[in-house]
Chain A
Amino acid sequence: MTTAASIADAETGAAEAADEAAGETQDTRVPVTVLTGFLGSGKTTLLNRILTEQHGLRIAVIENEFGEVGVDDALVLDSEEEIFEMNNGCICCTVRGDLIRILGALMRRREKFDRIVIETTGLADPAPVAQTFFMDDEISSQLRLDAIVTLVDAAHVLDHLNEVKPEGVENEAVEQIAFADKIVLNKTDLVSEDRLTEVTARIRAINTPVEVIRAQQAKVELEKILDVHAFDLDRVLEGDPAFLTETEHQHDTTVTSVGIDLPGDLDEGRLNRWLGQLLRTKGVDIFRSKGILAIAGSEQQYVFQGVHMLLEGENGRAWRDGETRRNRLVFIGRNLDRDALNADFAACLAANSPVGDRA
C-alpha cells in the first residue's frame, strides 16, 4: 500500500477574502478531512470531484494509491503507510509516520492550502490517522482534523459488514463506519428504498450520531464534508441530541453506540477517576467518545472528545439562564456494556454521592 500526495491548484479569491473578513479570532489552522471507504465505494470519483469542482479553494490531496487520482500538474508523493507505536505506555496510541512526514514537508512550503484531504484505503485503520493530529504538536499547531468521512457503497456495504472475520481480526468496514463523523451513502440509485432504509439502520446501529448523506455517483455538496468542524469541541453534539435515547435498532453487532443523557451536576473528582479508568482499561475498544457535561460548581459546560485513549476537553459556553444542567455523552466502540456505562456514569452525579454528603 502506498500513500501519495497530489496538489490541485485552484483559483483563490472570493473564499479567501470572505475568510479574512470574518475576523481574526477564528482558528486559522488548515482543516484536514480524512476520507475512508472500501474499494468501489466511489472514493476516487469523489476525490476527482473535490479536485476539479469550481470551488475557488486550493486543496491538497494525500492519496494512498499512486496515481489513482489523475490531476494535471499534480505533485505526487509516494510513501508507504507506516504505523508507529508511541512507546508511551498507551497501547492504542499509534500514529501514521508517513503522514507526519508528508504533512510536515507540505507545511514547510510557501504555497498554502485551504483544505487538505487524506485518502485512506478501505483496509486502513482510521485511528492512527486521527491520533496523528492529537499526538504531533508540529501538525496540530498548523493543521486541524476536521472530520472523518466514510464512503459507503449502498449496494455492497451489508456484505462487507456481515463478513465474518477470524477471531481477533477487525472487520474494517465496521471500524470505518464506527469512526466516521459523516457517512456518504453512495450509489443510492442502484438499490431500493427498502434497502437504503435497512443500510441506514445498520449504520446507525454501529454509529448512532453519525450524519448519513445520500449520494449518487459521489455527488456531494463539498461544504457538507469539507470544513465541517466535526472534531471541534464547540461543535460536539451540536446536532439534535435525540439520537442518544434511540435504542430501537438493536442488531447482533459487537460495535455499537451507547448514548447517555442525564440531568444533574457531576462530581468532578469522581468523573475524572471514572473516565480515566474507563479509557485506561477499555480505551482499546472505545473508538470514539464525545460529550457535553455539567460539572458541579462550574458555570460553563465541559466539552470533551476522544479517539481511543486520547481525550481532549475544555470548558465550553456558559450554561444559559433557565437551561437544564444536563450531561450528554456518547461512546462508540466494541463490546460496550451499556448498563455498566449508564450505572457508572450515574454514580458520578454529585447528587449520588456514595457517602450522602451532598444536599
Chain B
Amino acid sequence: MTTATTSALWTATVDDAPVAVATEADLVAIAGAAGTAWILEAATGKPVGTVTLAGGLLALEFSPGAAHLAFVGPTGYGLWRRSDGRILLSETGAWSNAVRWAAPDRFAVASGRRALVLDTDGAQQWGTDLAPSTVTDLAWLREGRRLASSAYGGVRCHERHTDKPVTEYKYLGSHLALALNPNGRWICTGNQDASIHIWRTRDGNDLTMQGYPEKIARLAFDDTGRWLASDGAPDLTVWDFSGKGPAGTSPRSLRAHETITALAWRPGGDAILASAGTEGAVAFWRADSGRPGTRVNPASVSELPEPVTALAWAGPRTLVIADYEGRVAAWPLPDGLIG
C-alpha cells in the first residue's frame, strides 16, 4: 500500500455539499444537495454552466455523448441541453430518486411511485404503473428496451407496450439500490434490511447475501460484470460473479473506511475500484487481489481534511472527487496502480 500525495490535474469549488458527480465525454457535473448542479469541462475544470432544481438534488446523469444532462431531486426533475443551454424543469412535487439514459435521445426518471421515459424535449414516451412505494433506482436492460425499477417489494421490469410489469422479481423488503450485471445475467439490489438480494435474470432464481451490519445503499458491477462492490459495512465487500455466480462463495473485504460514502469502478474492467468514506480517505483498490473471504488492503490511500461525498471516473485515467465543503478535484491515476 502506498499513501499517495496526489497532485490534482485541476481543482474547482462549488458552493454546496455535493451529493453526486456525473461524467461523460468531455464534461463533469457536480450535484449540490440544495439544488444547483455545476457543469465543468472534464479536462480543465472550467465552468460550462449551472442548473438548479429548487427542491434539492439527489442524482444526475449525462446522456451518452453528453449533449444533455438530466437531474432529479425531492421535488421533481430537469433536463439541460448543451447546444444552447436550454433548461427544462418539471416540478412535479413527486420524489425523483434516480435517472438513467437508455440512448442519446431517451432517458428514464423515477417520479414518486412511477418511472417515466422521456425524450430530450421532456415529452413522456411511456411510463409505468404505480410501484408499491417510491421508486428508488432504475436500470435499462435489453439495449434500452426494458426498464428495471426497484422499490419496496422487489424489482419490476417494464416495456413500452404496457404499463404493467412484464417481469417481476419479488422479495419482501425495501430495495434501495439496483445493479445489473452488464451481460444481463444478474439483477442485484441493496436493501434496507442490510442484505444484498440477487436474482438470475433468466428464471428469477434468487439468493440473499445477509450479515451486513448496515443497509446497502450503494452497489455496482464493474464493466465486465464479474465483480459486484457494495457498502453496508465499514469494509467494502466485493463478490465474484464468475462461473455459476456467488452462491456458496465468500466475498473479499476492502478495509479503509469507517462508513462508505461513495464507490466507483474504473471503466475498462480491470477490477480497479475507487472508494471514499466519512473519515476522509479516498482509496484505490485492486479488487481481484487476495483471495475470497480475505481482507484486501488498498493499493493507494489519500487522507483528505473533509469526507469525499461523491466521486466518478472521467475516463480510465482521471478520478473526479467532491468533498463535503464543495472542493472538487480531478486526480490522475496513482502511480503504480496499473502495470
Partner-B contacts on A (CB < 8 A): 66, 75, 77-80, 82, 84-88, 95, 97-98, 100-102, 105, 108-111, 135-138, 141
Residues of B with C-beta under 8 A to A105: 33, 56, 58, 74
Cα A101 to Cα B58 with chains together (Å): 10
Which among B58, B152, B172 is the interface contact of A82 at CB below 8 angstroms?
B152
Residues of B with C-beta under 8 A to A102: 74
Inter-chain contact B192/A101, CB cutoff 8 Å: no
A78 to chain B, nearest CB (A): 4
Inter-chain contact B74/A110, CB cutoff 8 Å: no
Residues of A with C-beta under 8 A to B259: 141
Cα A105 to Cα B57 with chains together (Å): 9
Which among B55, B97, B193 is the interface contact of A101 at CB below 8 angstroms?
B97
* A to B CB contacts below 8 Å, 15 in the list: A75-B55, A77-B74, A84-B152, A85-B173, A87-B172, A87-B191, A97-B134, A97-B174, A101-B95, A102-B74, A105-B74, A108-B17, A109-B33, A136-B215, A137-B214
Cα A109 to Cα B55 with chains together (Å): 12
Partner-A contacts on B (CB < 8 A): 16-17, 19, 33-34, 55-56, 58, 74-75, 93-95, 97, 112-113, 133-134, 152, 171-174, 191-193, 195, 213-215, 217, 259, 309, 324, 326
Which among B16, B17, B75, B324 is the interface contact of A77 at CB below 8 angstroms?
B75
Residues of A with C-beta under 8 A to B309: 108
- Given known A-B contacts A78-B94, A87-B173, A87-B193, A108 and B19 have beta carbons under 8 A apart: yes
Cα A135 to Cα B214 with chains together (Å): 9
Inter-chain contact B172/A138, CB cutoff 8 Å: no
Inter-chain contact B33/A110, CB cutoff 8 Å: yes
Residues of A with C-beta under 8 A to B324: 110
Residues of A with C-beta under 8 A to B94: 78
Cα A80 to Cα B172 with chains together (Å): 19
Residues of B with C-beta under 8 A to A87: 171-173, 191, 193, 195
Cα A21 to Cα B133 with chains together (Å): 44
Inter-chain contact B214/A77, CB cutoff 8 Å: no
Which among A75, A84, A98, A110 is the interface contact of B173 at CB below 8 angstroms?
A84
Cα A141 to Cα B213 with chains together (Å): 13
Chain A residue with the shortest CB-CB distance to B310: A108
Inter-chain contact A82/B134, CB cutoff 8 Å: yes
Residues of B with C-beta under 8 A to A95: 174, 192
Inter-chain contact A111/B34, CB cutoff 8 Å: yes
Cα A100 to Cα B133 with chains together (Å): 13
Residues of B with C-beta under 8 A to A136: 192, 215
